[in-house]
Amino acid sequence: MKQGSLMKKLMLVATAAIALASVSAAHAATTLYYSGDFDAGNGNANALANEVDGIVNSAATYDNFTVSGAVWHVTGLFTNDLTNLNITSANWEIRSGLSEGNGGTVVFSGSAKPNVSTTGRSGFGFTEYQVEVPVAFDLNPGVYWLSVQPVSSDASRSFNSNTFGLNAVGVHTANNDYFNSAFFGANFTNANNEGAFPAFSAGVLGTAGGVPEPSTWALMLLGFGAMGASLRARRNGGLAKA
């Protein structure tokens, strides 16, 4: 077998192993941050406009979270929204440095087709849905704000649920979330100016740190082991019918 053909096969083996490793790492994504569940039984249960639709041209909520320790490899963002929209897409942002009347800095942003699923909760005559967008970026330690804004052409509504920390994961600073909507005359105002909004129900998915999961290492070693075995076979007379 010619050396060039052999090397092509070896590279295919290694590439396949690394691809499988990447899939394994993606499946290992966990909830790095979650502000908490909506609790309809709480006397201060509420929700705030979070939408682009046939009624409201834009209203967005911003929930804060803290990245501490290792870098976060973020693969998903979501909000839990009380809505009857037929959601076709979602706008998303990560910002830093928000304060009253100040939108801070857009760190990452985009628009994507979301994965929409029911949470099993409801309130104010609406069913709550989790609106999750796929993303791919790293966040260094610091404080950030996330927004995932459902988009539809429907003449219906969407409201980001509030939460008081039920089943929360990670670090959130209460009473430091924001609302922005020219439609409602709000310029990055503290959400508590609109009602009781110590936190919006929202979250971040991904992995922390740069060390692959054990299964990822195993797949990578399998690929490189195959390369080594093939090279040894080449030195000892070549692969049978290669």
Mean pLDDT along residues 151-173? 98
Contact 148, 204 (CB under 8 A): no
| Mean pLDDT value of segment 5-28 | 44
Model confidence at 218: pLDDT above 70: no
pLDDT at 235: 42
What pLDDT band is residue 29 in, cutting at 50, 70 and 90?
A: confident
Report the alpha-carbon distance of residue 119 to residue 127 in Å, rounded: 8
pLDDT digits (tens, 9 = 90+) for 61-119: 999 999 999 999 999 999 999 999 999 999 999 999 999 999 999 999 999 999 999 99
133-137, 155-159, 221-225: least confidently modelled range: 221-225
Q: What backbone phi and psi angles, to 5 degrees, belong to 27?
A: -70, -20
Question: Any residues with CB less than 8 A from the CB of 43 and at least 6 apart, and which?
Answer: none
pTM for the predicted model, two decimal places: 0.78
The Cα 78–Cα 95 span in angstroms is 15
User: Which residue would you say has higher pLDDT here, 235 or 79?
Assistant: 79
pLDDT > 90: percent of the chain: 74
Q: Does the pLDDT at position 18 exceed 80?
A: no
Residue 125's Cβ-side half-sphere holds a number of Cα atoms within 13 Å equal to 2
pLDDT band for position 210 (cuts 50, 70, 90):
low
Best CA proximity match to 78, nearest among 55, 61, 95: 61
Mean pLDDT, residues 214-218 taken together: 43
Mean pLDDT of the chain, nearest integer: 84
The structure tokens listed for 239 are 């692969």
Asked if pLDDT for residue 5 goes beyond 60, the answer is no
Most confident stretch, 11-15, 23-27, 104-108: 104-108
CA 72 centroid distance within chain: 11
Is residue 24 scored above 60 in pLDDT?
no
